[in-house]
Structure 1
Amino acid sequence: MKIAVSACLLGENCKYSGGNNRSERLLSELAKHPEIEIIPVCPEVAGGLPTPRPPAEIVDGEVVNNCGVSVDAEYRAGVAAEMARLKPHIESGELAAGVLQSRSPSCGVHEVYDGTFTGRLIPGQGLFAEALERGGVHLLDAGAL
């Protein structure tokens, strides 16, 4: 069994700020199941975005950073790259789930920022979460752990 996990939750410094969202609780749960293969994912880095980078939000269906610059192409390229990498695991049924970082324009499972850069949340999903769900992958929001 395999699980795709946002790399930032595993402690990889790929978050927009240059840091990570290391989740000790997640790591502890995963350590209890050595039979699970973890596949780290970060569509933003896979799309060629640097770390650190300006924060981005979804504005009218387009990913834009807080400088007003569209980074939609990079986000969508990263989603495509990560989905291509996961495709064999999805098609074989080996990929049991995805554990994704909350609120991210890539990985948000249940809600994302509203595009005003004010911290306001709205119901919705990030681009990568949407793609995984369309692929039949069960999603878990890291904030629900």
Structure 2
Amino acid sequence: MQKILVSRCLLGQRVRYDGGAHGPFGLLERWQQQGRIVPLCPEVAGGLPTPRAPAEIAGGQGAQVLDGHLPVLTIEGEDVTAAFVDGAEQACALVARHAIRIALLKARSPSCGNRENYDGTFSGTKVVGEGVTAAALRRIGVQVFSEEELPAAEAALMALEHGTSGTIDLG
């Protein structure tokens, strides 16, 4: 049975920067009952507390953080890059340990965002980009979806389990 890495906040666990949570959604509840879910909050795994100051990446580019070109900064100016990179490394280790090929991560998070992110100005401005963990997972071949793409994530999972490529083109 194919396992799925899932952001803990999407499972109703109160690990968001503001102490909040999302979900769980019906599909995630089913996957939990089936024993498919490997939960992780990369920011908490990397050593950050809950609640914590909001953090953003200039330009919203997690890959540039991984490459050492950009920091992750809190609204107070604290550099939390090391915690974000550590959390991404832990996600990659879980993926390897459980042979995970699909992740369902929180949209627009500086760790988990998979399509867009905030621009680093703390103004609410969104840009095309991805979080640090999403970028790290993509680099090792994991398909990364957000909670806004549940049908596509489910289709990718079914494709993997039925022996097809499992790659879903989202445009």
TM tier, smaller = 0.7 to 0.9
Residue in 2 that maps onto 1:84: 93
Q: Distance in 2 between matches of 1:41 and 1:62?
A: 22
Aligned-partner SS, 2:52: coil
Q: Which runs of 5+ in 2 are unaligned?
A: 60-69, 151-171
Residues 68-88 of structure 1: CA distance to partner in whole angstroms, max 9, x if unpaired? Answer: 111111111111122223222
Q: Distance in 2 between matches of 1:28 and 1:80?
A: 26
Task: Measure, in 2, the Cα distance between the counterparts of 1:87 and 1:28.
Answer: 24
Check if 1:114 corresponds to 2:123.
Answer: no
Output the aligned Cα RMSD: 1.7
Aligned pairs for 1:45-124 (under 5 A) are 45-59=44-58, 61-90=70-99, 95-124=100-129
Structure 2 match to 1:18: 19
Tell me how far apart the structure 2 counterparts of residues 117 and 38 of structure 1 sit (CA, whole Å).
32
What letter matches 1:22 in structure 2? Answer: G
* 2:101/2:141 contact within 8 Å kept: no
Secondary structure of 1:14's aligned partner: coil
Whole-angstrom distance in 2 between the partners of 1:6 and 1:37: 13
Give the deviation of 1:137 after TM superposition: 0.8
- TM-score, length-scaled by structure 2: 0.75
- Paired residue for 1:126, among 125, 128, 131? 131
Q: Is the CA contact 2:104–2:144 (under 8 Å) kept in the aligned structure 1? A: yes
Q: Report whether the alignment pairs 1:137 with 2:123.
A: no
- Moved beyond 2 Å, runs of 4+: 23-31
Give 3-state SS (helix, strand or coil) of 1:57's partner. Answer: strand
The percentage of aligned residue pairs carrying the same residue is: 44
Task: Pick the structure with more helix per residue.
Answer: 2
Aligned residue runs from structure 1 range 20-39, under 5 A: 20-28=21-29, 30=31, 34=34, 37-39=36-38
Deviates more, 1:109-118 or 1:16-25: 16-25
Evaluate the alpha carbon distance shift between residue 57 and residue 26 of structure 1 in structure 2; reply closer, same or farther with a 3 A threshold. Answer: farther
On the 8 A contact 2:6/2:37 being kept in 1, the answer is yes
Q: CA 1:13/1:38 → structure 2, altered by over 3 Å: closer, same or farther? A: same
Contact 2:91 2:137 in 1 (8 A): no
* 2: CA distance, partners of 1:135 / 1:144: 20
